Chains A and B, each alone.
Chain A
Amino acid sequence: MKPGRLAAIALALLPISVPAHAATIEITMENLVISPAEVSAKVGDTITWINKDVFAHTATAKNGDFDVKLPPNKSATSVLKKAGTVDYYCRYHPNMKATLKIEP
């Protein structure tokens, strides 16, 4: 394929890849489990972290991209700023693990 055609495809896709508005995705921590364990999202989407446990949790990215503190029975939000596959866990309960797949 010629480089010119790639550029044309990229241009053609451009309007589609900018959604009208970003989505809000809920991720729940309950009974020491993060669900869904794998979530696909896009840059600009908002994650609502919901802690339904009586325990404090965190959503901490292994690569350092985010570290959200979640007091017992509280929620928090964060906006995704960077693309990539991010494994995250709870610092207090490292058995709680999950993955965010963030598309550009």
Chain B
Amino acid sequence: MFVRWSAAIAAAVLLSSPVLLQGAQAADKLSDPQIAHIAYTAGVIDINAAKQAQKKAKNKDVKAFADDMLRDHEAVNKQALALVKKLNVTPEDNDTSKALSKQASDKLAELDKLDGAAFDRAYVANEVAYHKTVNGALETQLIPSAGNAELKGLLQTGLKIFQGHQQHAEHVAAELK
């Protein structure tokens, strides 16, 4: 499994296409500790992107969007930490988490070179794409694979809130054009 999994991810990263969805096609069932790690990592990525945007964004709708992302993703991750503690589960690092983190740090560096309206547009466009990817992965991979009912429930709440984020990002993106 791991060889196929890594190969799929490597391909996904190279093509800079959605890592999780590519992974889903090759992967066997993920374990709960892996799912928890992926979900938490995905949250941290968007929190870091939001912090960057709070510093760099110029447009007030983009700033407000970044505030919303920070608030919601921190809330979900806080809940996720409380849950893994309660379940006595140690989140397990894995290739999907690593690939996501790598892709995200590249994106942060790329966005860091932009300023003003160019940054605003690129940040929001990436937020649309990122939430699409994460939501797709939650729907097709993480939620179906989750064994623990409470973990599944948290992922489902996450999906609902992130679908709202995607709509919000799409709306802001349309306004920026």
A interface vs B, CB < 8 Å?
31-32, 54-56, 72, 92-95
Q: Does B76 contact A (CB under 8 A)?
A: yes
Cβ of A93 and Cβ of B161 under 8 Å apart? yes
Expressed in whole angstroms, the minimum distance between the Cβ of A32 and any Cβ of chain B is 5
| Contact partner, A32, options B68, B71, B161, Cβ 8 Å | B161
Cross-chain contact of A95 among B72, B78, B167 (Cβ < 8 A): B167
Tell me, in angstroms, the Cα distance from A31 to B78 when the chains sit together: 16
Interface positions of B (Cβ within 8 A of A): 68, 71-72, 75-76, 78-79, 157, 160-161, 164, 167-168
Jot down 5 A-B pairs with beta carbons below 8 A, ordered by A: A32-B157, A55-B75, A55-B161, A93-B161, A95-B167
Q: Which 5 A-B pairs have the closest CB atoms?
A: A54-B75, A54-B79, A55-B75, A95-B164, A93-B164
Task: Please indicate the chain B residues that have their CB under 8 angstroms from the CB of A32 in the complex.
Answer: 157, 160-161, 164
Task: Give bound CA distance, A93 to B69, whole Å.
Answer: 11
Contact of A56 among B75, B76, B164 (CB under 8 A): B75
Q: Return chain A residues, CB-CB under 8 Å to B167.
A: 95
Residues of B near A93 (CB, < 8 A) are: 161, 164
Question: For the complex, what is the distance from the CA of A51 to the CA of B76, rounded to whole Å?
Answer: 15
**Shortest distance from the beta carbon of B132 to any chain A beta carbon, whole Å:** 17
On whether A55 and B71 interact (CB within 8 A), knowing A31-B157, A31-B160, the answer reads yes
CB distance from B77 to the nearest CB of A (A): 10
Which residue in chain B gives the minimum CB-CB distance to A55?
Answer: B75
For residue B60, give the distance in angstroms from its CB to the closest CB of chain A. Answer: 13
